[in-house]
Amino acid sequence: MEREFQVLKPIKGKYEGENYIPNPKKKVAAYARVSTDYEDQINSYRVQCEEYTKVIKSNPDYIFVGIYADQGLSGTQAKKRPEFMKMIEAARNGEIDLILTKSISRFGRNTVDVISYIRELREIGVEIFFEKENISSLDPKIDFMLTILSSIAQEESRSISSNVKWSYDKKFKKGIVDPRRIYGYDVVDGEFVVIPEEAKVIREIFDLALKRYRVADIVKILNQRGIKTLRGANWANGSLRYILSNEKYVGDAILRKTVTPDYLTGRAIPNDNIETKYYVKNNHEPIVDREIFNAVQVILKSKSKFRNTNKTSKYPLTGILYCPKCHRTLKRQYVNPKTNKRVVLNCNHSYGNNYICKTYSPDYNLVLNATIKSVNELFSNKSLLSDIYSKFESFLDLENLRKELSISKEKVSTLLEKHHENPEYIDTFNEYTTSSEKLKVLEEKLVLHLTSSYKLDFFKSLESLEHIDETNTNLKDIYSLILADDKKITFVISQTKSIDELVSKIDYLKTLKPILSNIYLKENEDVGIYYEVIIYE
């Protein structure tokens, strides 16, 4: 049998629906990218887009699909370039036959990304033409060249990253702050300028935090009042914590809060003892007093120690009502729903209790009304108020604490400098650690005294009110703990103790001598309850 030889050329024509196209046109798109928003880069971006639009539309063998362009985005991560990913998806869906781009470095600066996407597109018959290098991705012989060229582009990206880091280092070492708009401040001519209305909100946030309102409760207060964030959204715990921990509100600025270990991923992480930070003090006009700011930082770091009751609950006494016998929380419970529906306070229905308390359940409205009656009686009695004020004032020792704290901070700072000069000296480091712990104790003590001072000021402000009730005053800012059964209510005023500390002392609290004792009688009814007010510190 005679050997035959044939040349089988690829078929160029194709069917589109029922129509045969002998020489189908190529569906062509272009990709452009610039990595910054600077004017010269923006001009390059526009030129790339205009030029490729003109080239594709003027070629009779091309069908213009579109221009995919990323502006102000780095080429080190493809997934962070939305237009690039949209183009790749369109190519996967058969919407693109040819991609034109200026160079390999415009296509991407990550060697792995460049090679993987070129190979994926080549497998589905999509060509990429790099204009500057004058090469096509369909020729497998250029893989080696692409590896070299994309590696060069990646190295160039590393070099750019190093240059940017160097320029920031220069700024940081000179203490130059690059201001950005934050809630409370505008930026005018490169300087922070206080916005009075927003600053008022910032001060209130810090005041509430110092009064030991929880972050979630402050968020709830802001959202209920319709106050929006800088972006016009509702507040969340994260956005509020950012404000409470931001040193810019005392007029300072920390430089290099974050670092980027890998220039390819571009992911910034907190600079926790990784690289040198710079602290610029008194850089701009403060909104918050420095002492208040520092106290709030202590509260945020030691939240368990300073935990307080839920200040924004639906019912005015929720969170501070406890049973004097079993020390469990008293909860509102409806009884007799069909006949004589009423609300009582019950400690027996808590889940998982091994001990069933035999106490009777007091009427909730009776306890609430007795609370309001006791508060008004307290603030109408000048001698009782004077006694409360004197007990608060005898506790306060702010001036001495401030002096002691200042000396302690200076000592810690000096020891830290010595440690940096001679890190091998273990004795210096140990002394620094011990002094830091003592400083922490002093800071926490100052916070307690500051919150006590705030509470005293609050008490004094209530004297001007003719009548106090749950509509015009937060009752939980007056009473720290309420013990109640069907026979007696004990109201506890504490200068500094958290709810947890007070609950642990319930048995002792019941032995203290009251500053006020009386009976509350329900109007038009022969129903009453005995109550007393005590101070504990």
Residue 118 contacts residue 146 (beta carbons within 8 Å): yes
- For the record, the structure tokens of 269 come out as 């992480």
Round the average pLDDT of the chain to a whole number and report it: 83
- State the pLDDT at residue 374: 93
Q: Is the pLDDT of residue 263 over 60?
A: no
Q: Sketch the domain layout of the chain as residue ranges.
A: 14-158, 185-301, 321-536
**441 alpha-carbon distance from chain centroid:** 26
Mean pLDDT over 34-56 rounds to 71
Percent of the chain with pLDDT over 90: 26
Q: Tell me, letter by letter, the H, E, C secondary structure of 269-290.
A: EECCCCCCCEEECCCCCCCCCH
Mean pLDDT for 443-458 is: 88
pLDDT at 303: 65
pLDDT score, position 310: 59
Q: What is the arithmetic mean of pLDDT over 255-275? A: 64
Do the domains at 14-158 and 185-301 have one common CATH topology?
Answer: no
d(CA 135, CA 308): 69
Structure tokens, 384: 């009782």
SS3 category, 514: coil
pLDDT of residue 106: 80
Give the count of alpha carbons within 13 A of 182, CB side only. 19
* pLDDT for res 77: 66
Q: 399 by DSSP, 3-state: which?
A: helix
Could you tell me which residue, 41 or 354, shows the higher pLDDT? 354
How far apart CA 294 and CA 301 sit, in angstroms, is: 11
Check if CATH label 3.90.1750.20 holds for domain 185-301: yes
DSSP secondary structure letters along 202-250 = HHHHHHHHHTT--HHHHHHHHHHTT---TTSPPP-HHHHHHHHT-GGGG
pLDDT of residue 73: 65
pLDDT at 308 over 70: no
For 206-242, b/e burial (b = at least 16 CB within 10 A) is bebbbbbbbbebbbbbbeeeeeebeeeeebeeebbee
Q: Are 112 and 120 in contact (CB under 8 A)?
A: no
Mean of pLDDT values over 443-448: 88
Query: What dotted CATH number matches 14-158?
Result: 3.40.50.1390
| Mean pLDDT across 211-220 | 88
pTM above 0.85, yes or no: no
Tell me which of 223 and 105 has the higher pLDDT.
Answer: 223
Residue 166 pLDDT exceeds 90? no
Which of 100-109, 171-180, 263-272 tops mean pLDDT?
Answer: 100-109
Statement: residue 533 has pLDDT above 90: yes
Task: Please report which confidence band the pLDDT of residue 171 belongs to, taking 50, 70 and 90 as the band edges.
Answer: confident
Instruction: Calculate mean pLDDT across residues 46-53.
Output: 83
- Percent of the chain with pLDDT strictly greater than 70: 79
Helix (H) or strand (E) holding 49: helix 39-58
Query: Tens digits of per-residue pLDDT, 100-152?
Result: 988 877 887 676 677 788 888 888 889 999 888 788 887 766 667 666 766 66
If pLDDT is split at 50, 70 and 90, which confidence band does 372 have? very high
Distance CA 95, CA 86 (A): 11
Is residue 149 within a helix (H) or strand (E), and if so which, with residue range?
helix 143-173
Instruction: Report the distance separating Cα 389 and Cα 379, nearest Å.
Output: 12
Q: DSSP of 99-147, one letter per residue?
A: EEES-HHHH-S-HHHHHHHHHHHHHTT-EEEETTTTEETT-GGGHHHHH
In whole angstroms, what separates CA 453 from the centre of its chain? Answer: 28
